[in-house]
Structure 1
Amino acid sequence: MEDSETHNLKRETIEQQYKTVRERTSNFNSYTSGGSHVMEYGSTSIKAEKIYLYQGFDPASVNFPPNELSHDTQMEAINQRDADILFLWHMYKNSEDGSKKKEILKQISETMRHRIHLDGSIDLIGTVLYGPAKGSVILNTIREPGLPLVDDWQCLKSMVRLFETHCGSLTQYGMKHMRAFANICNSDVSQSAMEEACVAACSSSHDPTQWHPSNHGYSA
């Protein structure tokens, strides 16, 4: 859409649009800061056809110049797990001094503290379950290509819920730890052992009300 809205679609071909979008989406072939891969599927015999045959034509675009997007400036991207912090930060920067600004700053601080709590709790659970030498290794293990993330999806759901009950909602940020929960299931840890580890990791550091899944919902 970004490309179509800045071109005369009676002059631009499907192939031209593909190349333009591929370059833009790959962050100008760097694949950094959020750049990704655009792929072609289906018949390539239509590449020479004009785009208006498929998307229609807006008469207002008849005199459009070539794409006006800047092609020499890389995109600034942010990890999706930081979107909530970015949103709060913009609210903070655009708020006038006063109680509202202080409240937003408090939300930012609480969110960051909860992130630190989540990361630390996962690490400690790994230590309790597997020992200090193996905990991190097992939790971060990547399975061989072709194997599913987890053998028992019901186990994954149960382990996530046990964690969130005792340690608080994962939030979007904490979803990055889903592989750790999968590896806990793949190593045949019992629910009782997992619950014991969660209690040990979170009983003294977790606010049982603010981040409880009854307020935020379960992630699985």
Structure 2
Amino acid sequence: MACGALLFVALLSLIVGSWCLPENAELKDFGGPPSNTEKKGNRWAVLVAGSNEYYNYRHQADICHAYQILKKGGLKDENIIVFMYDDIAYNPENPRKGVIINKPNGRDVYKGVPKDYTGTDVNSNNFYNVILGNKSALTGGSGKVLRSGPNDHVFIYYADHGSAGLLAMPTDGDYVYAKDLIRVLKKKHASRGFKSMVLYVEACESGSMFDGILPRNLNIYATTAANPEESSYGMYCPGEDPRVAEEYGTCLGDLYSISWMEDCDISDSREETLQQQYERVRRRTNKSHVMQYGDMSRRQQFLVTYMGGYLSKRGTSTSNISSPLISRAVNQRDTKLHYFQHKLGRAPTGSQEELEARKQLLDEIAHRKHVDDSIHKIGELLFGRRESSNMLMKVWPRGQPLVDNWDCFKKLLKIYEKYCGHFSAYGMKYTRAIANMCNAGITAEKMVVASDQTCSKKPHV
């Protein structure tokens, strides 16, 4: 009887104690650091490799590596959504079938990666609707979407080619436009679809995806591999890094991406903040300017908030991560050219392989010349020879959006591609010129005339 009375008193004290919590007290998430005492929510991630073909090996390698980091951190597959064309692991050119590595002599990062959206299901429509949790609007794929709620933390990582105002997708003519991405993020925020969000973007001119258009009041923090007007760089490339086996023939990673992921590989996510990682990645990424945008208060959050809790066996020493890389990096605009040059160089003299590699290299050179010539010719027709270069290459001050009228930007870009052929990773460097045409008041009608006059009688190389 006495024992029963004591038990009752103990239970009553626990109940009363819970009633006496302050009104705004929040439950501590013991998976995070003491300073991040938040209502317990879930971690979600969307990983996107927006390219295909073997010469773009590095983008899918980056995404697979990111998946392994999140899995080590305790995220469940149901909370990790992966976009990758999946044409690399078993590609005839891959010297290790079924294996993808992200650095020389690296471990397999492909094993276990979910194939949520592959092939042509890797597209902008699915990407937007996955973020919005709009399952009914998907076209193909696993059907997995972000079912995140108001207490959840979301991490989005995108690795691909990019240019002023857009990120590429594997299908020609399909792009993730900066304005559309921001619209989707605003909509997700308005629906209380997350508590906080972090985006890491690996692409040329990736800063233009957020500069002047990502509001600071959305609880979103973003970092990019490059500022709005410069390229990002491929890393661990054959011929540039002696540790890369020649048979790979292509870059294994990207400079910004391997910097943040190799930092994760040797760090304690419970002790390192987003700001600390940004500084380490910024110092190591010595070919471009790593940028940050959005809600800067998020920088003080620990990586565990988004990537889960992992502790490196090697401790938290990051001296080798904070220093610039010694190996030579390759401009992302030139990685395809580098790939064909290397392929030709290692082909046996007089072989069919040599003939094919030489043709591929010459075709790539011809394509680059076609893009250069057509853009410059269109510029001269629209602005005159004297003013053309200044108008096409004009860069707006930092903090201003790339273009005033995004609908015009999309329309003129589509007109160019209709008459002159789709932009390649190299040709995408001219999307700023398209934006400047819109900012100068060039109409769709004028663009049609100039594009037709420039390209209608020329083959689209």
TM-score, reference length from structure 2: 0.36
CA contact (8 A) 1:3 1:21 kept: no
1:83 aligns with 2:343: no
Percent identical residues: 25
Counterpart of 1:142 (choices 395, 399, 414) is 395
1:161 aligns with 2:414: yes
Residues 37-186 of structure 1 mapped to structure 2, 5 A cutoff:
42=298, 44=300, 55-57=309-311, 61=313, 69=320, 71=323, 74-97=326-349, 98-186=351-439
Q: Who is 1:193 aligned against?
A: 446
Closer, same or farther in 2 for the Cα pair 1:74/1:34, shift >3 Å?
Answer: farther
TM-score, reference length from structure 1: 0.69
Q: Who is 1:22 aligned against?
A: 279
Unaligned runs of at least 5 residues, structure 1: 212-220
User: Which deviations, in whole Å up to 9, do the C-alpha atoms of 1:13-55 show, x marking residues without a partner?
Assistant: 537x97687346423xxx64246358985374979xx9xxx53
Give aligned pairs, total.
Answer: 196
Closer, same or farther in 2 for the Cα pair 1:141/1:45, shift >3 Å?
Answer: closer
Query: 1: CA distance between counterparts of 2:438 and 2:301?
Result: 47
Query: 2: CA distance between counterparts of 1:45 and 1:148?
Result: 28
- The one-letter code matched in structure 2 to 1:201 is T
Unaligned runs of at least 5 residues, structure 2: 1-260
CA contact (8 A) 2:393 2:432 kept: yes
Query: 2: CA distance between counterparts of 1:101 and 1:201?
Result: 34
User: Which deviations, in whole Å up to 9, do the C-alpha atoms of 1:155-206 show, x marking residues without a partner?
Assistant: 21221122112212211111111111111112222222212211222244x3
Query: What is the CA distance between 1:65 and its match in structure 2?
Result: 10
Closer, same or farther in 2 for the Cα pair 1:36/1:153, shift >3 Å?
Answer: closer
The CA RMSD over aligned residues, in Å, is: 3.6
Closer, same or farther in 2 for the Cα pair 1:4/1:185, shift >3 Å?
Answer: closer
Query: 2: CA distance between counterparts of 1:6 and 1:147?
Result: 37
Query: What is the CA distance between 1:138 and its match in structure 2?
Result: 1.4
CA contact (8 A) 2:344 2:358 kept: yes
CA contact (8 A) 2:263 2:318 kept: yes
Q: If each structure's strand is expressed as a fraction of its own residues, which one has the higher value?
A: 2
Closer, same or farther in 2 for the Cα pair 1:148/1:121, shift >3 Å?
Answer: same
Query: 1: CA distance between counterparts of 2:289 and 2:442?
Result: 38
CA contact (8 A) 2:378 2:451 kept: yes
- Which structure ranks higher in relative contact order (CA pairs < 8 Å, sequence separation ≥ 6)? 1
Query: 1: CA distance between counterparts of 2:442 and 2:299?
Result: 48
Closer, same or farther in 2 for the Cα pair 1:142/1:72, shift >3 Å?
Answer: closer
CA contact (8 A) 1:151 1:186 kept: yes
Query: 2: CA distance between counterparts of 1:45 and 1:163?
Result: 44
CA contact (8 A) 1:166 1:203 kept: yes
Query: 2: CA distance between counterparts of 1:145 and 1:73?
Result: 28
Closer, same or farther in 2 for the Cα pair 1:44/1:113, shift >3 Å?
Answer: same
- The one-letter code matched in structure 2 to 1:131 is G
CA contact (8 A) 2:275 2:300 kept: no
